[in-house]
Structure 1
Amino acid sequence: MKERFKSFKIILVICTVMTLYFLVKGLVVLPDSEKVLFKGIQLALGLFLMIIPIVIERKMKVSLPRMLVIFYCIFIIGSVFLGTGFGFYGKIAYWDKLLHFISAGLLVLFGVSFYLSLLNKAVISTVEMKLCYFFGTFFAISGGVFWEFYEFIFDGLLDLNMQRFASKGVDLIGREALMDTMGDLFIDVLGAIAMLVYLLITTQKNKSLLNELRIRRIK
Protein backbone atom coordinates (compact mmCIF):
# COMPACT_ATOMS: atom_id res chain seq x y z
CA MET A 1 0.00 0.00 0.00
CA LYS A 2 2.85 2.34 0.85
CA GLU A 3 4.39 1.78 -2.56
CA ARG A 4 1.20 2.87 -4.29
CA PHE A 5 1.45 6.32 -2.69
CA LYS A 6 5.23 6.68 -2.65
CA SER A 7 5.30 8.97 -5.70
CA PHE A 8 2.42 10.96 -4.22
CA LYS A 9 4.44 12.05 -1.16
CA ILE A 10 6.32 14.74 -3.13
CA ILE A 11 2.99 16.32 -4.15
CA LEU A 12 1.82 16.26 -0.53
CA VAL A 13 5.04 18.00 0.57
CA ILE A 14 4.57 20.75 -2.04
CA CYS A 15 0.93 21.24 -1.04
CA THR A 16 1.93 21.35 2.64
CA VAL A 17 4.57 24.04 1.94
CA MET A 18 1.96 26.10 0.04
CA THR A 19 -0.49 25.77 2.92
CA LEU A 20 2.07 26.81 5.54
CA TYR A 21 3.16 29.76 3.38
CA PHE A 22 -0.36 31.22 3.26
CA LEU A 23 -1.06 30.47 6.93
CA VAL A 24 2.16 32.14 8.11
CA LYS A 25 1.72 35.08 5.73
CA GLY A 26 -1.84 35.51 6.96
CA LEU A 27 -0.66 35.76 10.56
CA VAL A 28 1.66 38.65 9.69
CA VAL A 29 0.15 42.13 9.92
CA LEU A 30 -0.51 42.99 6.27
CA PRO A 31 -3.24 44.99 4.53
CA ASP A 32 -4.79 41.78 3.21
CA SER A 33 -3.67 39.43 6.02
CA GLU A 34 -7.21 38.26 6.79
CA LYS A 35 -7.82 37.24 3.16
CA VAL A 36 -4.46 35.46 2.98
CA LEU A 37 -5.12 33.65 6.28
CA PHE A 38 -8.54 32.53 5.03
CA LYS A 39 -6.87 31.26 1.87
CA GLY A 40 -4.40 29.35 4.05
CA ILE A 41 -7.28 27.76 5.97
CA GLN A 42 -8.88 26.70 2.66
CA LEU A 43 -5.60 25.13 1.56
CA ALA A 44 -5.31 23.33 4.91
CA LEU A 45 -8.74 21.85 4.25
CA GLY A 46 -7.56 20.89 0.76
CA LEU A 47 -4.53 19.17 2.30
CA PHE A 48 -6.87 17.15 4.51
CA LEU A 49 -8.94 16.20 1.45
CA MET A 50 -5.77 15.07 -0.35
CA ILE A 51 -4.98 12.40 2.22
CA ILE A 52 -8.52 10.99 2.43
CA PRO A 53 -7.77 8.14 -0.05
CA ILE A 54 -4.79 7.05 2.07
CA VAL A 55 -6.86 7.18 5.26
CA ILE A 56 -9.68 5.17 3.65
CA GLU A 57 -7.29 2.48 2.44
CA ARG A 58 -5.57 2.12 5.80
CA LYS A 59 -8.63 2.31 8.04
CA MET A 60 -11.04 0.28 5.91
CA LYS A 61 -8.44 -2.21 4.61
CA VAL A 62 -9.38 -1.66 0.97
CA SER A 63 -7.52 -0.92 -2.25
CA LEU A 64 -9.00 1.99 -4.20
CA PRO A 65 -8.80 2.02 -8.02
CA ARG A 66 -5.63 3.84 -9.11
CA MET A 67 -7.47 5.80 -11.80
CA LEU A 68 -10.07 6.99 -9.29
CA VAL A 69 -7.38 8.22 -6.87
CA ILE A 70 -5.49 10.01 -9.67
CA PHE A 71 -8.59 11.87 -10.88
CA TYR A 72 -9.50 12.74 -7.29
CA CYS A 73 -6.07 14.23 -6.60
CA ILE A 74 -6.03 16.14 -9.90
CA PHE A 75 -9.39 17.67 -9.01
CA ILE A 76 -8.34 18.69 -5.47
CA ILE A 77 -5.05 20.17 -6.70
CA GLY A 78 -6.78 22.01 -9.54
CA SER A 79 -9.64 23.39 -7.46
CA VAL A 80 -8.01 24.13 -4.10
CA PHE A 81 -4.26 24.60 -4.58
CA LEU A 82 -4.20 26.04 -8.11
CA GLY A 83 -7.69 27.51 -8.27
CA THR A 84 -7.72 29.08 -4.80
CA GLY A 85 -4.01 29.23 -3.89
CA PHE A 86 -2.67 30.63 -7.15
CA GLY A 87 -5.94 32.29 -8.15
CA PHE A 88 -6.38 30.33 -11.38
CA TYR A 89 -10.15 30.88 -11.19
CA GLY A 90 -9.62 34.57 -11.90
CA LYS A 91 -6.46 34.35 -14.00
CA ILE A 92 -7.33 31.56 -16.45
CA ALA A 93 -10.52 31.71 -18.49
CA TYR A 94 -12.77 28.66 -18.16
CA TRP A 95 -10.67 27.15 -15.33
CA ASP A 96 -13.93 26.53 -13.49
CA LYS A 97 -15.37 24.78 -16.55
CA LEU A 98 -12.27 22.57 -16.86
CA LEU A 99 -12.74 21.46 -13.24
CA HIS A 100 -16.40 20.70 -13.89
CA PHE A 101 -15.28 18.49 -16.79
CA ILE A 102 -12.73 16.68 -14.58
CA SER A 103 -15.16 16.30 -11.67
CA ALA A 104 -17.74 14.71 -13.98
CA GLY A 105 -15.18 12.10 -15.05
CA LEU A 106 -14.26 11.55 -11.40
CA LEU A 107 -17.89 10.96 -10.43
CA VAL A 108 -18.35 8.48 -13.29
CA LEU A 109 -15.35 6.52 -12.01
CA PHE A 110 -16.68 6.62 -8.46
CA GLY A 111 -20.13 5.48 -9.60
CA VAL A 112 -18.66 2.62 -11.63
CA SER A 113 -16.39 1.53 -8.76
CA PHE A 114 -19.29 1.65 -6.31
CA TYR A 115 -21.53 -0.39 -8.63
CA LEU A 116 -18.85 -3.01 -9.20
CA SER A 117 -18.32 -3.30 -5.45
CA LEU A 118 -22.03 -3.97 -4.96
CA LEU A 119 -21.98 -6.73 -7.61
CA ASN A 120 -19.07 -8.46 -5.88
CA LYS A 121 -18.61 -10.85 -8.83
CA ALA A 122 -15.44 -11.98 -10.55
CA VAL A 123 -17.16 -12.31 -13.94
CA ILE A 124 -19.51 -9.56 -15.13
CA SER A 125 -21.98 -10.07 -17.96
CA THR A 126 -22.29 -7.65 -20.87
CA VAL A 127 -25.65 -6.40 -19.61
CA GLU A 128 -24.27 -5.80 -16.11
CA MET A 129 -21.28 -3.97 -17.57
CA LYS A 130 -23.51 -1.62 -19.57
CA LEU A 131 -25.74 -1.00 -16.55
CA CYS A 132 -22.63 -0.28 -14.54
CA TYR A 133 -21.41 2.35 -17.02
CA PHE A 134 -24.78 4.04 -17.33
CA PHE A 135 -25.16 4.09 -13.55
CA GLY A 136 -21.79 5.83 -13.30
CA THR A 137 -22.74 8.32 -16.02
CA PHE A 138 -26.07 9.32 -14.53
CA PHE A 139 -24.53 9.38 -11.05
CA ALA A 140 -22.06 11.99 -12.34
CA ILE A 141 -24.76 14.08 -14.04
CA SER A 142 -26.89 13.96 -10.87
CA GLY A 143 -23.86 15.08 -8.87
CA GLY A 144 -23.51 18.12 -11.14
CA VAL A 145 -27.17 18.99 -10.66
CA PHE A 146 -26.97 18.74 -6.86
CA TRP A 147 -23.84 20.91 -6.88
CA GLU A 148 -25.81 23.64 -8.64
CA PHE A 149 -28.53 23.23 -5.98
CA TYR A 150 -25.81 23.77 -3.36
CA GLU A 151 -24.54 26.92 -5.11
CA PHE A 152 -28.06 28.30 -5.48
CA ILE A 153 -28.93 27.73 -1.80
CA PHE A 154 -25.73 29.22 -0.38
CA ASP A 155 -25.73 32.14 -2.81
CA GLY A 156 -29.04 33.07 -1.20
CA LEU A 157 -28.10 32.31 2.40
CA LEU A 158 -24.63 33.87 2.43
CA ASP A 159 -25.03 36.49 -0.31
CA LEU A 160 -22.40 34.81 -2.50
CA ASN A 161 -22.06 34.78 -6.29
CA MET A 162 -21.05 31.19 -7.03
CA GLN A 163 -23.55 30.96 -9.87
CA ARG A 164 -22.22 34.20 -11.39
CA PHE A 165 -25.65 35.80 -11.52
CA ALA A 166 -24.06 39.20 -10.92
CA SER A 167 -21.15 41.10 -12.46
CA LYS A 168 -19.29 43.83 -10.53
CA GLY A 169 -22.09 43.94 -7.96
CA VAL A 170 -24.87 44.35 -10.52
CA ASP A 171 -27.37 41.52 -11.06
CA LEU A 172 -27.48 40.18 -14.59
CA ILE A 173 -30.79 39.99 -16.44
CA GLY A 174 -32.44 37.22 -18.47
CA ARG A 175 -30.30 34.59 -20.19
CA GLU A 176 -27.07 36.25 -19.06
CA ALA A 177 -27.91 35.33 -15.46
CA LEU A 178 -28.30 31.68 -16.48
CA MET A 179 -25.18 31.31 -18.60
CA ASP A 180 -22.78 30.16 -15.85
CA THR A 181 -25.16 27.59 -14.35
CA MET A 182 -26.28 26.17 -17.70
CA GLY A 183 -22.68 26.15 -18.95
CA ASP A 184 -21.62 24.15 -15.87
CA LEU A 185 -24.41 21.62 -16.45
CA PHE A 186 -23.49 21.22 -20.12
CA ILE A 187 -19.84 20.65 -19.20
CA ASP A 188 -20.88 18.12 -16.53
CA VAL A 189 -22.78 16.13 -19.15
CA LEU A 190 -19.92 16.35 -21.66
CA GLY A 191 -17.37 15.25 -19.05
CA ALA A 192 -19.53 12.30 -18.00
CA ILE A 193 -20.08 11.21 -21.62
CA ALA A 194 -16.36 11.58 -22.41
CA MET A 195 -15.45 9.28 -19.51
CA LEU A 196 -18.21 6.84 -20.53
CA VAL A 197 -16.84 6.66 -24.08
CA TYR A 198 -13.30 6.19 -22.79
CA LEU A 199 -14.34 3.33 -20.50
CA LEU A 200 -16.38 1.66 -23.23
CA ILE A 201 -13.47 1.77 -25.68
CA THR A 202 -10.74 0.67 -23.27
CA THR A 203 -12.67 -2.17 -21.63
CA GLN A 204 -13.98 -3.38 -24.97
CA LYS A 205 -10.37 -3.98 -26.02
CA ASN A 206 -9.31 -5.39 -22.67
CA LYS A 207 -12.15 -6.50 -20.36
CA SER A 208 -9.72 -7.24 -17.53
CA LEU A 209 -9.35 -3.47 -17.10
CA LEU A 210 -12.83 -3.48 -15.61
CA ASN A 211 -11.53 -5.29 -12.53
CA GLU A 212 -9.03 -2.48 -11.99
CA LEU A 213 -11.97 -0.16 -11.32
CA ARG A 214 -13.24 -2.36 -8.49
CA ILE A 215 -12.74 -1.40 -4.85
CA ARG A 216 -11.03 -4.48 -3.41
CA ARG A 217 -10.78 -5.58 0.19
CA ILE A 218 -7.29 -6.32 1.48
CA LYS A 219 -7.02 -9.43 3.64
Structure 2
Amino acid sequence: MKNKLILILSLVFSLFMLILFIVYLIKDDSSRWQVALGGIAVSALPLFMLFVKKNPFSVLIYISYYIFLFCTTCLGSILSFYMKYKWWDSTLHFYKGLLMGFIAISLFKFLVPVRSQRDVSKWIPFIFIFSLAVTASVIWEIYEFTGDLFFTHTMQRGGNRDTMYDLLCGTAGGLLTAIYFSIKTKKPG
Protein backbone atom coordinates (compact mmCIF):
# COMPACT_ATOMS: atom_id res chain seq x y z
CA MET A 1 0.00 0.00 0.00
CA LYS A 2 2.69 2.51 1.06
CA ASN A 3 4.94 1.68 -1.90
CA LYS A 4 2.04 2.03 -4.31
CA LEU A 5 1.19 5.44 -2.85
CA ILE A 6 4.81 6.60 -3.11
CA LEU A 7 4.89 5.50 -6.74
CA ILE A 8 1.57 7.16 -7.60
CA LEU A 9 2.34 10.45 -5.83
CA SER A 10 5.80 10.63 -7.35
CA LEU A 11 4.64 9.85 -10.88
CA VAL A 12 1.63 12.20 -10.76
CA PHE A 13 3.66 15.10 -9.36
CA SER A 14 6.57 14.43 -11.75
CA LEU A 15 4.20 14.34 -14.72
CA PHE A 16 2.54 17.56 -13.58
CA MET A 17 5.92 19.27 -13.23
CA LEU A 18 7.05 17.87 -16.61
CA ILE A 19 4.00 19.47 -18.25
CA LEU A 20 4.82 22.79 -16.53
CA PHE A 21 8.45 22.42 -17.59
CA ILE A 22 7.45 21.98 -21.26
CA VAL A 23 4.92 24.84 -21.15
CA TYR A 24 7.38 27.30 -19.62
CA LEU A 25 10.25 26.12 -21.81
CA ILE A 26 8.11 26.84 -24.89
CA LYS A 27 7.19 30.25 -23.42
CA ASP A 28 10.91 30.87 -22.77
CA ASP A 29 10.18 31.62 -19.11
CA SER A 30 13.51 30.47 -17.69
CA SER A 31 12.66 31.19 -14.06
CA ARG A 32 9.57 28.98 -14.14
CA TRP A 33 10.94 26.13 -16.27
CA GLN A 34 13.91 25.89 -13.89
CA VAL A 35 11.54 25.58 -10.93
CA ALA A 36 9.53 22.92 -12.79
CA LEU A 37 12.71 21.00 -13.61
CA GLY A 38 13.73 21.12 -9.96
CA GLY A 39 10.22 19.96 -9.05
CA ILE A 40 10.67 16.87 -11.21
CA ALA A 41 13.91 16.03 -9.39
CA VAL A 42 12.58 16.48 -5.84
CA SER A 43 9.32 14.66 -6.60
CA ALA A 44 11.35 11.59 -7.54
CA LEU A 45 13.32 11.50 -4.26
CA PRO A 46 10.80 9.33 -2.37
CA LEU A 47 11.17 6.67 -5.08
CA PHE A 48 14.46 5.70 -3.42
CA MET A 49 12.41 4.49 -0.45
CA LEU A 50 10.96 1.75 -2.67
CA PHE A 51 14.34 0.04 -2.53
CA VAL A 52 14.81 -0.06 1.24
CA LYS A 53 13.88 -3.13 3.22
CA LYS A 54 12.01 -1.25 5.98
CA ASN A 55 10.51 2.12 5.22
CA PRO A 56 10.41 4.18 8.44
CA PHE A 57 8.06 6.89 7.18
CA SER A 58 4.28 6.91 7.40
CA VAL A 59 1.92 7.60 4.53
CA LEU A 60 1.09 10.93 6.18
CA ILE A 61 4.74 12.02 5.93
CA TYR A 62 4.79 11.31 2.19
CA ILE A 63 1.52 13.17 1.65
CA SER A 64 2.88 16.08 3.73
CA TYR A 65 6.05 16.07 1.62
CA TYR A 66 4.10 16.42 -1.63
CA ILE A 67 1.90 19.13 -0.12
CA PHE A 68 5.12 20.98 0.74
CA LEU A 69 6.46 20.50 -2.81
CA PHE A 70 3.21 21.74 -4.34
CA CYS A 71 3.11 24.78 -2.06
CA THR A 72 6.76 25.72 -2.68
CA THR A 73 7.16 24.98 -6.39
CA CYS A 74 3.72 25.45 -7.93
CA LEU A 75 2.05 27.98 -5.68
CA GLY A 76 5.12 29.71 -4.25
CA SER A 77 7.45 30.04 -7.23
CA ILE A 78 5.41 29.42 -10.37
CA LEU A 79 2.21 31.22 -9.30
CA SER A 80 4.23 33.86 -7.37
CA PHE A 81 2.62 33.36 -3.94
CA TYR A 82 5.99 34.33 -2.45
CA MET A 83 5.55 37.79 -4.02
CA LYS A 84 1.77 38.12 -3.53
CA TYR A 85 1.59 37.05 0.12
CA LYS A 86 4.28 38.15 2.57
CA TRP A 87 3.32 35.39 5.01
CA TRP A 88 3.68 32.56 2.44
CA ASP A 89 7.44 32.06 2.80
CA SER A 90 7.43 32.09 6.61
CA THR A 91 4.47 29.72 6.77
CA LEU A 92 6.22 27.20 4.53
CA HIS A 93 9.42 27.40 6.56
CA PHE A 94 7.39 26.75 9.72
CA TYR A 95 5.62 23.83 7.98
CA LYS A 96 9.00 22.47 6.87
CA GLY A 97 10.24 22.64 10.46
CA LEU A 98 7.20 20.65 11.59
CA LEU A 99 7.61 18.13 8.76
CA MET A 100 11.31 17.64 9.48
CA GLY A 101 10.46 17.18 13.15
CA PHE A 102 8.04 14.37 12.30
CA ILE A 103 10.60 12.85 9.95
CA ALA A 104 13.05 12.93 12.88
CA ILE A 105 10.50 11.19 15.12
CA SER A 106 10.11 8.45 12.51
CA LEU A 107 13.88 8.07 12.22
CA PHE A 108 14.30 7.95 16.00
CA LYS A 109 11.66 5.22 16.32
CA PHE A 110 13.25 3.34 13.42
CA LEU A 111 16.86 3.62 14.58
CA VAL A 112 16.38 3.08 18.32
CA PRO A 113 14.86 -0.29 19.26
CA VAL A 114 11.59 -0.04 21.23
CA ARG A 115 13.09 -1.75 24.28
CA SER A 116 15.92 0.81 24.30
CA GLN A 117 13.64 3.82 23.80
CA ARG A 118 12.34 3.43 27.36
CA ASP A 119 15.86 3.74 28.77
CA VAL A 120 16.92 6.74 26.68
CA SER A 121 16.88 10.13 28.37
CA LYS A 122 13.90 12.21 27.25
CA TRP A 123 16.39 14.85 26.11
CA ILE A 124 17.97 12.62 23.44
CA PRO A 125 14.90 12.47 21.15
CA PHE A 126 14.15 16.13 21.91
CA ILE A 127 17.64 17.20 20.83
CA PHE A 128 17.58 14.86 17.82
CA ILE A 129 14.22 16.15 16.57
CA PHE A 130 15.10 19.79 17.18
CA SER A 131 18.57 19.43 15.63
CA LEU A 132 17.32 17.73 12.47
CA ALA A 133 14.72 20.47 11.92
CA VAL A 134 17.28 23.25 12.48
CA THR A 135 19.82 21.51 10.23
CA ALA A 136 17.19 21.18 7.49
CA SER A 137 16.45 24.91 7.81
CA VAL A 138 20.13 25.77 7.46
CA ILE A 139 20.54 23.46 4.45
CA TRP A 140 17.45 25.02 2.85
CA GLU A 141 18.92 28.50 3.28
CA ILE A 142 22.17 27.31 1.69
CA TYR A 143 20.06 25.98 -1.20
CA GLU A 144 18.30 29.35 -1.54
CA PHE A 145 21.58 31.25 -1.45
CA THR A 146 23.22 28.95 -4.01
CA GLY A 147 20.15 29.05 -6.24
CA ASP A 148 20.19 32.84 -6.20
CA LEU A 149 23.92 32.93 -6.79
CA PHE A 150 23.81 30.78 -9.92
CA PHE A 151 20.24 30.73 -11.25
CA THR A 152 17.10 32.63 -10.28
CA HIS A 153 18.08 35.61 -8.08
CA THR A 154 14.58 35.52 -6.56
CA MET A 155 14.73 33.27 -3.50
CA GLN A 156 16.30 35.69 -1.03
CA ARG A 157 14.93 39.05 -2.02
CA GLY A 158 14.92 40.12 1.61
CA GLY A 159 18.57 39.20 2.09
CA ASN A 160 19.70 38.59 5.64
CA ARG A 161 16.34 39.55 7.13
CA ASP A 162 14.56 36.94 4.98
CA THR A 163 17.14 34.30 5.90
CA MET A 164 16.77 34.98 9.63
CA TYR A 165 12.95 34.89 9.51
CA ASP A 166 13.13 31.62 7.57
CA LEU A 167 15.54 30.11 10.10
CA LEU A 168 13.40 31.28 13.02
CA CYS A 169 10.25 29.80 11.48
CA GLY A 170 11.90 26.47 10.66
CA THR A 171 13.40 26.35 14.15
CA ALA A 172 10.01 27.13 15.74
CA GLY A 173 8.39 24.29 13.78
CA GLY A 174 11.08 21.87 14.89
CA LEU A 175 10.88 23.06 18.50
CA LEU A 176 7.10 22.63 18.53
CA THR A 177 7.43 19.08 17.18
CA ALA A 178 10.13 18.22 19.74
CA ILE A 179 7.94 19.55 22.58
CA TYR A 180 4.95 17.61 21.22
CA PHE A 181 6.95 14.36 21.14
CA SER A 182 8.32 14.98 24.65
CA ILE A 183 4.81 15.49 26.05
CA LYS A 184 3.39 12.55 24.09
CA THR A 185 6.07 10.16 25.34
CA LYS A 186 6.35 11.56 28.86
CA LYS A 187 7.52 8.87 31.25
CA PRO A 188 5.25 8.23 34.26
CA GLY A 189 6.56 9.13 37.70
Q: 1:18 aligns with which of 16, 19, 26?
A: 16
- Structure 2: state its 5+ residue gaps: none
User: Who is 1:182 aligned against?
Assistant: 164
Q: Aligned partners of 2:156, 2:175: CA distance in 1, in Å?
A: 23
**2:156, 2:163 within 8 Å by CA — same for their partners in 1?**
yes
**1:22, 1:39 within 8 Å by CA — same for their partners in 2?**
no
Q: Please, which moves more after superposition, 14-23 or 127-136?
A: 14-23
User: Who is 1:172 aligned against?
Assistant: none
Q: Aligned partners of 2:149, 2:33: CA distance in 1, in Å?
A: 25
**1:31-70 to 2 correspondences below 5 Å:** 32-49=28-45, 52=46, 54-56=47-49, 58-66=50-58, 67-70=60-63
Q: Aligned partners of 2:105, 2:122: CA distance in 1, in Å?
A: 9
**1:46, 1:80 within 8 Å by CA — same for their partners in 2?**
no
Q: Structure 2 vs 1, CA of residues 129 and 44 (structure 1 numbering), >3 Å: closer, same or farther? A: same
Q: Aligned partners of 1:159, 1:37: CA distance in 2, in Å?
A: 11
Q: Aligned partners of 1:147, 1:163: CA distance in 2, in Å?
A: 11
Q: CA shift at 1:7, angstroms?
A: 5.9
Equivalent residue pairs, number: 186
| TM-score, reference length from structure 2 | 0.75
**1:112, 1:133 within 8 Å by CA — same for their partners in 2?**
no
Q: CA shift at 1:160, angstroms?
A: 2.8
Q: CA shift at 1:158, angstroms?
A: 5.7
Larger radius of gyration: 1
**1:104, 1:140 within 8 Å by CA — same for their partners in 2?**
yes
**% identical aligned pairs:** 25
SS at match of 1:94: helix
**1:167-178 to 2 correspondences below 5 Å:** 177-178=159-160
Q: Aligned partners of 1:151, 1:27: CA distance in 2, in Å?
A: 22
**Residue 199 of structure 1 pairs with residue 164 of structure 2:** no
**1:43, 1:85 within 8 Å by CA — same for their partners in 2?**
no
- Structure 1: state its 5+ residue gaps: 166-176, 206-219
